[in-house]
Homo-oligomer: A and B are copies of this chain.
Amino acid sequence: MKIGVNLSFAVKRWLDGPQLASIVRDRLGLQHVQYTWDLSDPWWPEERRDRIARSFARAFLEAGLVIESTFGGLASYTYNNLLAPTDDMRRVGYQHLERAIDMTSAMEVKAAGAPLGSFSYDDARSPARREELYRIALDLLGELARHARRRGLTTLLVEPTPLATEFPASPADGARLMEDLEGKTEVPVKLLVDWGHALYRPLFGEAGLEPWMEQCGQHIRAFHIQQTDGSLDCHWSFARDGLVTPRQLAEFWKKHRLADQTYFLEMVYPFEADDDFVLQDMVRSTQVVRQAA
């Protein structure tokens, strides 16, 4: 099993590159990293933004760590991005992602990703509008892939979310998106699948991860893993009990002959959680997963 970590646990807490690199390498014992835009907002003015983002990238490189991708976090997910109801809102969503690609390029990281966007209440309930907005999003993704290539990236990632008012949500959505984009973008657009999203019972029942592998497994480039009870998008640590067992992660890895599709631990703690608790809990969470590797 190739285990990595999404840096969301560090947001607001550990903002010094060398210190955070040391936490990842020496405390968590991991080498593969996914940087979150919650550490540096793609919207920040370029000069300061890139200086901040590069200070993380440089420290990680010097510590021998590999940042495989950068990814949208809480702040990015707060807005409707490419599926927003108005042209103005979609255009700012596009610019947000374009700027995230610029930041990723400044960090010399080769991939960037995020969820695609959210429909508004009315649009989500209109099949015709969903279709219209999906078509627009495909075009915008094409433009983004062109921009990504110009900036030296090699892959864009889309993360399905557990909301019927977003797209892609289901394995069928993911398969459709991959089919519609395959071979048509200047860099490949691939999927990052989140275990907690796939195990969200109100939307997917007990279906689990297998339908994802069956319907779009060949397009999945990475996973977010975390503990969940299936009732909400929990993003819990593996120090808690829940639907996911380390053994299950290991068997899934083996069964599907995964190799490079890193399992990124993605724990999201409440802002008010105690810093020292968060760090100890991340250490424990990583140990639990590694025991099964």
Contacts and interface: CB of A to CB of B under 8 A. Distances in A.
A129 to B, nearest CB: 13
Nearest to A93: B44
Given A79-B12, A163-B272, A88 B51 contact: yes
A16 interface: yes
A95 B44 CA distance: 9
Nearest to A10: B121
Given A12-B79, A79-B75, A85-B16, A233 B272 contact: yes
A261 interface: no
A78 interface: yes
A87 to B, nearest CB: 9
A289 to B, nearest CB: 24
A74 interface: yes
Contact of A270 (B52, B121, B124, B233): B233
A200 interface: yes
A89 interface: yes
A41 B43 contact: yes
B45 A163 contact: no
B270 A13 contact: no
User: What is the count of identical protomers in the complex?
Assistant: 2
Given A122-B16, A272-B162, A41 B232 contact: no
Interface residues of A, number: 50
A38 interface: yes
A25 interface: no
B15 A92 contact: no
Given A15-B80, A74-B78, A200 B272 contact: yes
A4 to B, nearest CB: 22
Nearest to A47: B88
Nearest to A23: B121
Contacts of A45: 92, 95
Contacts of A255: none
Interface in A24-46: 38, 41, 43-45
Contacts of A69: none
Contacts of A14: 120-121
A11 interface: yes
Given A52-B86, A75-B79, A78-B74, A16 B120 contact: yes
Nearest to A74: B78
Contacts of A275: 121, 124, 165
Contacts of A107: none
14 contacts: A11-B78, A12-B79, A12-B120, A15-B80, A15-B86, A19-B122, A41-B43, A48-B88, A52-B88, A74-B75, A121-B275, A161-B271, A163-B271, A232-B270
Given A12-B78, A202-B272, 6 more contacts: A52-B86, A74-B75, A161-B271, A232-B270, A233-B270, A233-B271
